[in-house]
Amino acid sequence: MPEPAPRPAVRARVFCLPYAGGSSLAYRSWPDLGPGVEAVALDYPGRMMRPDEPLVDSVPGLVAALTDELAPFWDTPFVLCGSSLGSLVAFELARAAERAGHRPEAVVLCACAAPGRLPRRAPVTDLPDAEFLAAVTERYDGAIGELSDDPQALELVLPGLRADIRAFERYAARTDPPGTIAADVIAFAGQQDRSTRFGEVAAWRARTTGDFQVRSVPGGHFFVARQPDQVAGEIRARLGRAHPVAAS
């Protein structure tokens, strides 16, 4: 039998952060990002591949938990990509990486208003289950409300969703400015996203001293999972320009 073709050496990694209530499965339908580009879909503590860890209900706590895991890989070119809550985590991870002397190739922020433009709605995390699910479903137009008809699934998902929404609400309530990053930022807004407006996404411009681009793409709040081609294509093209594959 012929020998299998060797896998190309890793020339870049894309670390993917999920939205509230989501997991690494949000990125399972992503297309290939190019030879030698490794997509690393992450889970927050207490989810999927990290079930034995306690849940974390703040962005700083999520960043602290993930930094220990990711820091050993920051010596290889990398991109941070987040969706909704994951965008806030990706941004703060970029700040942590830059403080350690490792600037990301780019930070890709999807379906999330910039700090200072995050909506300060009445907190919902302490509402009874049915009211909490109704509020989250109305806000983000997702399928999470269907869990009310599936007690087993609800028992599994609800604690993590509450922790994530609480983390988002706490970050949105901050009055201190979060600072800036030097990495380039590409921000994406869903054209059918009822929870996040294009101008709120474009306001990420003030959070980077690097190059900034904003894109309007088809889809609702969860376009990063349901219609990922434009986001993935942008990352692939950018890494292809920055780190072209050497001719054999």
> Who contacts 91 (Cβ-Cβ below 8 Å, separation ≥6)?
80, 82, 107, 109, 115, 178, 181, 207
Phi, psi dihedrals of residue 9, rounded to the nearest 5°: -60, 145
Q: Please say whether the beta carbons of 19 and 88 come within 8 A.
A: no
Helix, coil or strand: residue 7: coil
**What pairing do the DSSP bridges indicate for beta strands 78-83 and 12-17?**
parallel
Q: Which residues are catalytic?
A: 84, 221
| Predicted local distance difference test score (pLDDT) of residue 225 | 92
pLDDT, tens only, 117-144: 998 888 999 999 889 988 988 888 766 6
What confidence tier does 147 reach under pLDDT thresholds 50, 70, 90? low
- For the ranges 35-44, 196-205, 238-247, the lowest mean pLDDT is seen at 238-247
Contacts of 158 (CB under 8 A, 6+ apart): 129, 132, 133, 147
**Residue for token digits 């996040």?**
196
CA distance 8 to 42: 22
Does the CA dihedral 59-207-76-17 come out positive or negative? Answer: positive
- Percent of all residues in the chain with a pLDDT value above 70, rounded to a whole number: 92
Instruction: State the pLDDT at residue 7.
Output: 57
pLDDT at 35: 93
List the CATH code of the domain at 12-118+178-242. 3.40.50.1820
Q: Which residues contact 100 (CB under 8 A, 6 or more apart)?
A: 71, 74
Q: Is the per-residue pLDDT at 248 higher than 50?
A: no
Domain segments of the chain as ranges: 12-118+178-242
